[in-house]
A = this chain, B = another copy of it.
Amino acid sequence: MEFGTALEKFREVGRLSNAYSHALGVLSFDSETIAPKNSVDGRAKTYEVFSEVMYKLTVNEEYFDVIDTLEKNADKLDEITAREVELASRSLSQIRKIPMEEYVEYQSTLAHAQNAWVEAKKTDDFELFAPHLERIIAFHKRVASLVSPEMDPYDYWLDEYEKGLDMKTLDAFFEKVRASLVPLIKRVAEKGDIIRTDFMQRSCPIEVQRRFSDYIMQVMHINRDDCAIAETEHPFTTEFNKHDVRITTHYHENSVVSNMYSVIHEGGHALYELNIGDELTGTALANGTSMSVHESQSRFYENIIGRSEPFIELIFPKIKEFFPEQFKDVCAHEFYLAVNKAQPSLIRTEADELTYALHIMVRYELEKRMMHGEVKVSELPSEWNRLYKEYLGVDVPSNSEGVLQDVHWSGGMIGYFPSYALGSAYGAQIVEVIKKELDFEALIRENRINEITAWLTEKIYKYGRLLRPCDAVKQATGQDFDPQYFIDYLTGKYTEIYGL
């Protein structure tokens, strides 16, 4: 094939792919936000058609030739196209090994799994979700065996979410984190219940919380003409391009803080996407580069900014305006302490920074064992509860607050969870450099978070997928990733808070 023809066909496939991905993304967002329950069958049919069309779009001799021609002429490609071709080639080498029928059937499985999970969580009935999860796990094993039979199936999926990541790296990372944090958590626990939290569960009308979310997005300098907010069972962020990003949250009448940190976390994901470079628009690189890097940003805003004292000082007067009765006897410092109280708990998304990694370790452990056939789906609830007792010392009262709490498995995300822990650790390393270059605390206190975002944009955001995930920390900090920063960050923060 001529180089020019190949490039043209590559662009055309990209244009079509963008449209299908956009439509599938909106269908999925719609299904989680507003679509009525019984819409699931119609949607599954459309997923099937689209996944079939998308499969055929790249799995054909002509497109193989396109990729081949472009790879052979890599020296003629500009930097952006070269990276697009690299990613397309990797993706093609995987998808072409999966029979179309299995690929298409799986999309339908996902449509039904999502509905089933919502229903299962609502009714606290794991059985409703179990057969769907079994199909999802089976598909993940199958794909790994088809695409990379030489790899461990869980390593295969870890590598999918973060190129180069494997169990060996993660085991070492979690071991190091655990070795440092468990004694720290113990020391904190020995200090006893010294942080006041009586005001944390006071009832705050959801209508007012909705307006409060708008305020929080404003503090984050999120342009609402480019970013919408909606409500879902489980908060998430989705994006179609840098001018169409959506975050979601979940309101709990009795926990204004739950929504607040969901909005800040998802807002962090959004800021990454909203600041992708314009030159990447329409290309396959116009997204955050990996889940770990993405989570490093969402958890950076949520914790390193959002749970800092300057941030609480900035927003607390507004909190008192929105909820005057609820917080009339509370000062900013008390609120700061309360949102940082370290206490082993049930729900990952509401966990404090110190114990958060333990929630991830439970999931990592279970995913690993499911992918290795060492734990059956039917045993999952009891294993979940056992590990929560062992790692966090808490009793799980129901599957809704246990194994069903997270959306990820129902969306087919096996291997995603470690991103959260890694991301948290990346953020701790990155903030050290920011603090050298900017007056970090002052910027937050003065409502100039956008200047921190601008720094991150220059180092990470604007590059989209042009930046390789493994290079992100290095590019931002000038050093290789080192989990010691994370341990030092948490040790410092909790030593101060608890006067250890």
Contacts and interface: CB of A to CB of B under 8 A. Distances in A.
Interface of A: 15-16, 18-19, 22-24, 26-27, 29-30, 33-39, 41-43, 45-46, 49-50, 53, 207, 223-228, 230, 240-241, 243-246, 282
A244 B29 contact: no
Given A18-B46, A26-B26, A43-B244, 6 more contacts: A16-B49, A19-B50, A34-B228, A35-B244, A36-B245, A36-B246
Contact of A39 (B33, B37, B46, B240): B240
Q: Quick one: which of A36, A45, A225, A241 has the most chain B CB within 10 A?
A: A36
How many monomers of this protein are in the complex?
2
Given A18-B45, A19-B46, A23-B27, A39 B207 contact: no
Contact of A36 (B18, B50, B53, B225): B225
Nearest to A240: B42
Contacts of A225: 36-38
A240 B39 CA distance: 8
A274 B205 CA distance: 34
Given A23-B23, A45-B18, A45-B19, A36 B228 contact: yes
B243 A49 contact: no
Given A19-B45, A50-B19, A30 B38 contact: no
Contact of A30 (B16, B26, B39): B26
A43 B244 CA distance: 9
A152 to B, nearest CB: 37
A39 to B, nearest CB: 4
Given A29-B30, A207-B207, A22 B46 contact: yes
Contacts of A35: 228, 244, 246
Contacts of A30: 26, 29-30
Contacts of A26: 23, 26-27, 30
A138 B123 CA distance: 54
A241 B43 CA distance: 10
9 contacts: A18-B46, A19-B50, A22-B46, A26-B27, A26-B30, A34-B228, A34-B230, A41-B243, A42-B240
